[in-house]
Chain A
C-alpha cells in the first residue's frame, strides 16, 4: 500500500461512489471530502453505500466554492486525515469525484514506487504561465479578493480596480515564492507532512485565504519550499478551455484516452457510461509501462480553443459573424482579380486557363449574369448565376465563392461596368491579388460603333467609377496586394506584368511564358482619346497615348530555340 487518494466530491455522487470503490478495492485508501452543499439525505446515502469498505474515510464537510480558500481547507482536512489514519501511504494524490483512472492502479502504484522521492505537481512562476483569467497574474498574490468571482463579479472587479488605483499591495510572506499550476497534485508523504506541519502554516494560511484561486497556488508554492525533487507536471490529464473551465471527456474520447497513457483524466461526463464501464472494469489490461503522452488530446483541445477564439477565416455562418474589421481575413483563400485584361486581349481567359493552374471565371459581378468559368449556370456550393441573388448580398457571394472553392485558386475579371459593392471588400481583403490595367475599359468603347456623345458620357461614367475603385485600392485601409498599370505603360511592355500575374497564381510550367495572348488592335486609339478630350472629357486613367502615332510594344517574346538532336 503506497498510494492514498484525497477526493473532493460535490456532485454526481453515484459516479463519485463508483470511483471511491474502484480506488479502495485496489488497495488505495481514500479520504473523501463531500461538499456541504450536498443535502443530508444524499450524503447519508453516499456514505452508507460505501460503508463496507474499511479503507475509506469521510472528513468533516464544509461549503466549497470555486476559486476560494474553502477548496484548500477541504483538501487540507482530508490530507491530515489521510496522514493520520493510513501510516503506510507513501504518495498522496488529490482527485475529484470525476477524475477517471485510465490505467490499472497497480501500474500507477509501481510507477510511483519507482519514484519514491518525487512530487508530481505542476508549479511555475507567474511570469511563465499564459492561463491568466481576468488579466490577473502576479496580482493574484498582491491584491485581496474577499468577493466571489462567480457570484459577485461586479464587486470583485470594482474592488480590484480600487486596489489598483490606490496602489495597495500585500506583502508576500517571507520564505515563499508564488507559484501556480494545476490543482491536481500527487505529493510524497514527506512533502505533504512538511507543508501541513510547517511552523509558519498559520501565517501562510492567513495569507492564502485572500489570494485568488488559492487551490492553484497554495500547494504549488509551498511544495517549492519543502520538496526535495519536483517533477513539474500533473499526473492528472486536465485540459482547460478559453474560459478556464475543464474540458469534459465523453464516450467518443475512449480510444484517445487509452492511447494517451495518462494515469488519471479529469473530467469525465457523469453519463459517459462507456468511459466509466471500460476504465473501471477489472478485465485484464495490457500493462504498457509507457510514460504518459497526452500529445494527441492536447492537440484536439488546443484546436478547439483556436476554433472558439479565432475561427475559420473567411467563413460566415450561424455562429460566426465577425464585425467588420474582426474577420481576420475577409475571405478564406487567396484569389486573383484581373481588371482590364479581357478588354485588352482576345481570348484572354482561354490563354490564362492554359497557362496557370486555377479556375478562370469571367466577370463574376457583371450586370447581365454571373459569368462562371465555362458559362456554367451554377457553381460550387450551389451558387447561382442569377444577378438579383448575387446583388442581394455581393459580399456574401464573394466570401461564399472563395470559401466553397478552398484548395483551388480562383481568378475572375472585374471592371467599372460591374457591381461596385464589393470594391471595398476586396480592397480590405489581404487575400485579394488585384491587377489593374487602368483605363482599359475604354477599348470596348473605342471598338464600338455607338454615337460619340453616348460614348463620351459612358467614358466619363466609367472613368469616375474606376477612379473610385482605385482610390479604395490605394487607401490606407486597403490590405489587398494590388498592382496598377496605366493602359499606356501596359501596352508598351505587356510581358512583365503578365509574367507577374502568372507567377503569383502558379504557372503550369516553369520558366518564361511560352506565348502571349493576342492584343486587340490599338490603331487610332490615341486619336480616339484626343476626340474625347476635344469633347471636353479628360481621359486620364489610360496614361499617355500620343494622338499622332500608335504605341508599339517594346518587348518581344523570347522563343525557345529549336533543338536538333
Chain B
C-alpha cells in the first residue's frame, strides 16, 4: 500500500468519524443503561424501524448466545417496538426521526454509539432479522469464540449473509412474535455465490443466493452484497465504511485467508423473507431510504407481486451449523 493510498484511507476513516460525530445530534436518548456494562461484556448494536414483532426472538436468541448489552437506534417506529425495548433491563435505546439514508444507512448512528461505548469490547452489529451462527454455536457461547479470537490475536470475524426463505409463497406464512423465524423460513441456497475482492478496502464482495437468482438475474452486478463483518473487537479508531460490509483500517477486512487455508467464519441467517416482507418492501419503497435508490426493494416489490416462491428443487433445508460448515458456507478454521 502506497503512502498516498494509506493517507487517503486515513482521511476516509476520519470522515466517517466526523459524520458520526455530527449525526450524534440526531439521536435522542430514550434510556441509557450503559453504566451497567462490565469491562469484558459483549455488546450488540442494531437499528430498527417498525420491527416490534421480531424483537422478542431477536433478544432471546442473542441473550442465549451471551450478548450482555444491547444498543438500539429506533428510526421512527410507531408499532410499540420502542416501548418494548425501553422495558428490557439489558437494552439502551436511542431514537431519531432523521433520514436513515443520510446517516449512511444507520452506520453513522451506530458508529457514534460504538465509538462512545464499545471501545475495548467485542461488538456485534446486526439487523433485527439477522441471526449469527458460528462454529460450535450449539455447544459454545459467544464468549468462547471471542476469547479464542482474543488469544489468536484476531480482531474481526467475517460471515456470509445467508438468505433464508420458506417453501411456497411467503405471504401464506404468519409469523408470531417470539417465534423462531427459521421454523417458517428454513431453506437456503447452498452453492451459487460469486466472490470478488474489493481492491479499495481489501474486503471480499460476495453476491448470489436467492435474491440474485430471483430478483437480479438481469443485472447481477446490482445484487446485494452478502459479505459482512459483524463481530469486531472494537477500538474507537475503527469505523464501518459501508454498512457492515467493510471496515477501516483495512486490516480488519482480512477475515479470509489468501494462501489456500481457511479462517474461522460464520453465517448470518437472514430472516427477511417472511409474511412481513411485502409490507416492509412497500413501505421502504415509498420512503426511498435504502441503498441505491431502494433498488433492492423495487426489485423485490416487482418480484413479490405474483407471490414469488424463492424455493427451487435444489434448495437446501437448514439443519444446523455443521451442515453449513460441510457445505462450505462457513468454516471452523483452526478452532477445534
Contact = CB atoms under 8 A, between A and B. Distances in A.
Measured as residues with beta carbon below 8 angstroms from the partner, the interface class of chain A is: 35 or more
Interface stretch (A189-197, A392-400, A466-474): A392-400
A303 B219 contact: no
B70 to A, nearest CB: 21
B4 interface: no
B158 interface: yes
Interface in B231-257: 255-257
Contacts of B159: 318
A304 B258 contact: no
A388 interface: yes
Contact of A321 (B143, B256, B315): B256
Interface string B197-231: 10000001011001011000111110000010000
Contacts of B160: 317-318
Contact of B191 (A301, A307, A328, A404): A404
A327 B193 CA distance: 17
B331 to A, nearest CB: 5
Contacts of A317: 160, 193, 195, 256, 262, 265, 328-331
Given A320-B257, A320-B263, A247 B336 contact: yes
Nearest to B204: A321
Interface in A272-325: 300-301, 303-305, 307-313, 315-323
A392 B195 CA distance: 10
B192 A384 contact: yes
A386 interface: yes
A327 B260 contact: yes
Interface stretch (A112-120, A225-233, A374-382, A510-518): A374-382
A250 B312 contact: no
B147 interface: yes
A244 to B, nearest CB: 11
Given A269-B147, A304-B335, A388-B219, A383 B261 contact: no
Contact of A400 (B140, B191, B204, B218): B191
User: Size band of the B side of the interface?
Assistant: 35 or more
Contacts, number: 177
A315 B335 contact: no
A382 B210 contact: yes
Given A242-B334, A319-B263, A396-B195, A250 B190 contact: no
Given A381-B190, A400-B192, A250 B139 contact: yes
The listed residue with most B CB atoms (<10 A of its CB), out of A303, A311, A312, A379, is A311
A356 interface: no
A449 interface: no
Given A312-B262, A383-B314, A304 B194 contact: no
B336 A382 contact: no
Contact of B262 (A271, A319, A323, A378): A319
Nearest to A274: B139
A319 B331 contact: yes
B243 to A, nearest CB: 15
A241 interface: yes
Contacts of A243: 152-153
B255 A319 contact: yes
Contacts of A379: 314
Contact of B213 (A308, A380, A384, A397): A384
B260 A388 contact: no
B16 to A, nearest CB: 23
Nearest to A305: B334
Contacts of B333: 304, 307-308, 319
Contacts of A303: 336
Given A300-B336, A380-B191, A326 B148 contact: no
Given A319-B257, A388-B220, A252 B140 contact: yes
Interface string B121-153: 000000000000000100111011001100111
A299 B193 CA distance: 31
The 9 A-B pairs at the shortest CB distance, nearest first, are namely A381-B191, A308-B334, A319-B265, A304-B336, A393-B194, A404-B191, A392-B220, A382-B189, A252-B139
Given A321-B195, A388-B219, A388-B220, 8 more contacts: A248-B148, A250-B136, A300-B336, A317-B256, A317-B330, A382-B316, A384-B217, A396-B193
Interface of A: 241-243, 245, 247-248, 250-252, 269, 271, 300-301, 303-305, 307-313, 315-323, 326-328, 376-384, 386, 388-389, 392-393, 396-397, 400, 403-404
Interface of B: 136, 139-141, 143-144, 147-148, 151-153, 158-160, 189-197, 204, 206-207, 210, 212-213, 217-221, 227, 255-265, 312-316, 328-336
